[in-house]
């Protein structure tokens, strides 16, 4: 199993540009989530999904969209990038959301100029 994979590893955007961060898992996990990590603030939940076709907002959803058309994939879209979205983004998955360990991908480092 590859586990949780994320692409790209690093991206530089200009303010106003759009992009999609890709996340995939091959563990047949129902629950997937996106976090952002900023210095000194730990990880904050952006969006999550409890299964294909179902998504919900986390703690910091503004400026981000998600969709879950398959169990394996959970892309995160930035429609109009802003410097405040400069961060490291992690995708995670677990068998279910309830009291199960979440496994994290290697992260995408995003710089918005």
Partner 1 sequence: GESVGLHLPTLSVQEGDNSIINCAYSNSASDYFIWYKQESGKGPQFIIDIRSNMDKRQGQRVTVLLNKTVKHLSLQIAATQPGDSAVYFCAENSRSNDYKLSFGAGTTVTVRA
H helical segments located in the chain: none
Whole-number minimum distance, CB 8 to partner 1, in Å?
A: 14
- Report which DSSP code applies to 16: T
Paired strand residues for 109: 10, 88
Minimum CB distance to partner 1 smaller for 49 or for 85: 49
Minimum CB distance to partner 1 smaller for 38 or for 82: 38
Whole-number minimum distance, CB 59 to partner 1, in Å?
A: 8
Q: What is the Cα–Cα distance from 97 to 79, expressed in whole angstroms?
A: 27
Extract the tokens encoding 25. Answer: 């898992």
Q: How far is CA 61 from the centre of its chain?
A: 11
- Residues that bind partner 1 in the complex, under the rule CB under 8 A: 4, 33, 35, 40-45, 48, 56, 58-59, 90, 92, 97-99, 101-107
Minimum CB distance to partner 1 smaller for 26 or for 59: 59
């Amino acid at each position: 199993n590859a586990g949780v994979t994320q692409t790209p590893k690093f991206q530089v955007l200009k303010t106003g540009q759009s992009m999609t961060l890709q996340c995939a898992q091959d563990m047949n996990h129902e629950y997937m989530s996106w976090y952002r990590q900023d210095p000194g603030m730990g990880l904050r939940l952006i969006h999550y999904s409890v299964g294909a076709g179902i998504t919900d907002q986390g703690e910091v959803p503004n400026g981000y969209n998600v969709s879950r058309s398959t169990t394996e994939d959970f892309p995160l879209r930035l429609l109009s990038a802003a410097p405040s979205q400069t961060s490291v983004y992690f995708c995670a998955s677990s068998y279910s959301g309830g009291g199960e360990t979440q496994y994290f991908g290697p992260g995408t480092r995003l710089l918005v100029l």
